[in-house]
Amino acid sequence: MALINITPIMTSNTTPSPYVVSSNNNWEGYEAWKAFNNTLVNSGDTYLTQSGTTTSWLKIDFSTTTKVDAFSLYYRNNTTYNEVPKTFILYGSNDDSSYEQIIKVDSQSLWATAEGRLYKFPFSVSFRYYKLNILENNGNLVATAVGLLKFWKDDTVVEYVTNKKASMQITMPQAPTSKIKLIENNPKEALLISSNDAANYGTLYMINNEGRAIIPMAAMTNEDVLFNGVADIIDIDYTIAKSYKYYKYIAITVGVTTDTAENGSCQTLIVPTNLIILNNIGQFALSVFFTTSYSWSMTLHFTSDIIFRINSKNVVGWANPVLRRITGIK
């Protein structure tokens, strides 16, 4: 498997056709397309926000729905390191009106000249429009700079290893010959082995019934983040990004208000969406009990396919519980 660069090399905001790039503000001479021109030769081949403005967005219209698995951000060939983005969110849309959050990236500091950083998604997405919303840079008060913005697609090619030999003595468990012969032609049977040579130490390979070694790919769920924030007020409406009816399950994660405590006291509830009953007060309950002196609980329900409410909270000797995240799982 390998990532392929699918970003067009732009020479203006609208060329080559049919691609279109844009931004909501820019420094004169440092337009949006310069973040897509595939060059970091000098500091002028870059996108800069308008003087005195450090937040902005950069958008690309691929003209058709385009599968993307990762994006990368490059700092320009310049030594003013604090002008590079620090916190940013990538969104996707198919109508340029309703956008869904794909990934949020925080705390991107200590950039080097012309450095590039890759951000791979936990699952593939497909949108026509992709918009990078820059929330803050690393402290520059004049402008924010983006050298290059690139988008990547997984080629889905599984790598076959031809220069590895598997020892049947090591990889096969001991078993009667008759039992081994029963599975030797079964394509569903496979053996696992890890390399112990210096170059590939610890790499896991799968040996199929033909003796071929491949690097197995772990299955990933196709999921969307529907709510990512803080919900902790009783009896007010909170909105999720998309109807839960699009998903087979939703995952509801509740923790507490302090980061140190949250690490040890989060709870996630997986709910089949066909069991959701609208306006069923307190239908979902999450709780953590440490001792009789330390516990918390929260109940909630949905009032529509995109709105939920918190019904009650209970705390004993601990920080207040808050709903942190709702994820849709297809």
* pLDDT tens-digit series, residues 249-297: 999 988 876 544 344 567 888 899 999 999 999 899 988 877 677 888 8
Q: Which two tokens stand for residue 286?
A: 């999450």
| Global confidence as pTM | 0.51
Q: How confident is the model at residue 169 (pLDDT cuts 50, 70, 90)?
A: very low
Q: Which of 102, 156, 168 is nearest to 129 (CA)?
A: 102
Instruction: State how far the Cα of 164 lies from the Cα of 168, in Å rounded to an integer.
Output: 13
Tens digits of residue pLDDT in 213-262: 666 555 455 788 899 888 999 999 999 998 999 888 999 988 876 544 34
Q: What is the 3-state secondary structure (H, E, C) of 285-318?
A: EEEEEEECCEEEEEEEEECCCCEEEEEEEEEECC
Architecture of domain 223-329: Sandwich (2.60)
Where along the chain do its domains lie? 3-154, 160-214, 223-329
Beta strand 307-316 pairing with 238-239: antiparallel
The CATH number given to 3-154 is 2.60.120.260
Is the pLDDT at 166 greater than 50? The verdict is no
Tens digits of residue pLDDT in 43-68: 778 999 999 999 999 999 999 999 99
| Average pLDDT over the chain, rounded to an integer | 82
